[in-house]
Structure 1
Amino acid sequence: MLEILQPGLYTSIQDLGRFNYRNYGVPVSGVMDEYHAKLANHILGNHENDAVLEITLQGPHVYFHEATQIVICGADLSPKLNRSDLRANIPINVSKGDELTFGARNYGIRTYLAVKNGFQTEKILESCSFYDGITQKSRIEKGDSIPYQTIKKQQLSNAKIGFHPTVFNDNQLQVFKGPEFDFLSKKQQKLLLEIPFSIGLNNRMAYQLNELLENNFPSIITSAVLPGTIQLTPSGKLIILMKDCQTTGGYPRILQLDEASINRLSQKHTRDKIYFNMISTS
């Protein structure tokens, strides 16, 4: 059992999400950065869809009631086990009574804590992912207990993942044309793919961009949207939908991020700049 002594800023249980209920209006949810969540599970020999803790900006303080193995992958939030610095991207043996804490953010904003065989939390609609209205809560709280399987015979792996933090500094996002892209003028299309955009308000549902793009679109019928869909609002603001986004929307869908760029964007902070690069389909 993992006891939450302090929850951090926004910490939640996530797996890869819910994929069979969009026709009922249920969002996909799931980890924001699939690459690092899958990496953490793979290092431990878990299934890639095993539940992990997604930790945002400020990490929790947790107490391990049973022995296990853990891995932390993603943003560097200065993890410590019993006040000793903890290496990322490598299996770590944890004993009963150990405490995990986090400190200053060095790069990225989301990191993933995986345990051997995954956190054993309730599945609702085939997923453990927290989402307000589907699960009882949207984030963990002080005093919560999160079950995991006890690992009595622990082994340390000599394997480690080569990693360089420059991956978190990449500000190029790869995009496809959205269904309404051709409604833009040639000038608008050119601006969209040349100027830098800066990140404004953001959360698991969407990232808003600060710069405006003129919107002279006709009204469109409410249509399907996905994580990574980039919408243009009537005010000219761009909104990039993320993992907790709705299943339909009424704003023009001018671009669509690829999966790797969703991962990359999920590690960006307010005021970070990004560029859109069109993926050729020819």
Structure 2
Amino acid sequence: PKITDSAMAADLKAATSQSQKADPAEQAKLYDTAIGFWEQAVELCDGRAKDRALRNLADNQRVRKSLEEMLGSGAECAGSQKDANALQELARQATTERRWQDAASLYRKAENMWDLAAERCSGAQQQLATQKRDQVAIDGHNVEFCAPRFERAREFQTKFRNTSATLTPTEKQTQQQITETLWREAVAQCKGAAGDLARNNAQTVSRERGTAWTAMLPPDLPSLPTPRANPPAAAPAAATPARNTAGTGATTGAAPASVANGVAGAVSTA
């Protein structure tokens, strides 16, 4: 039991160092210490205690191997990864604060830094940097082009549902057409989980209405930034939507702030 306590305490220090993105050499030393304790526990323990020691030893050895690869790639690789992680964290913070343009700029900087890390690293660390570069590129696209549209559709739908009891059948049909159109516009610019959720929302509105969709937008709808090229795997864009002249426009407000899977968490959880 005493050696297990020592091993778990060393594990906590190593894991904390990793979560705080400490210098890889420092992390390696802490994991070496934890591995040493778990190796002793494997020799001294029996039954469940030994199984637990084996699992923790294997987990720590995997982390230590990745640190060895990082250190073997040199200081430039480690430095680039550290800077890229820092920029990515700043972008996530801007996303939780709904500062879409700031977040997009920070994600582009993080993408550039991960690209540099991919050039400077080798082996598994190079693959990791490439994967993260591709992911932050998606996150950057979403916070700039998806989030404002997702937020607008969600807020219009909320307003519609809060007032639907007072609307005539014709007015209700019009509001549902607008709601679906706004969700379809979000689908066209959202990638990943956010795009899937926007598509599901559009389909739900369509089922509730029960009639064919006609593209329609509220009057005086503010324009939003559009990417130079259409994003891959986007839903087919509708023909130029008609403008509703009934006088009901989209509202503006704050999107939910939780971040999960890039921008999807920021714009999809109510």
Same-fold call, TM cutoff 0.5: no
Larger radius of gyration: 2
TM-score calculated relative to the size of structure 1: 0.25
Q: TM-score, length-normalised on structure 2? A: 0.25
More helix by share: 2
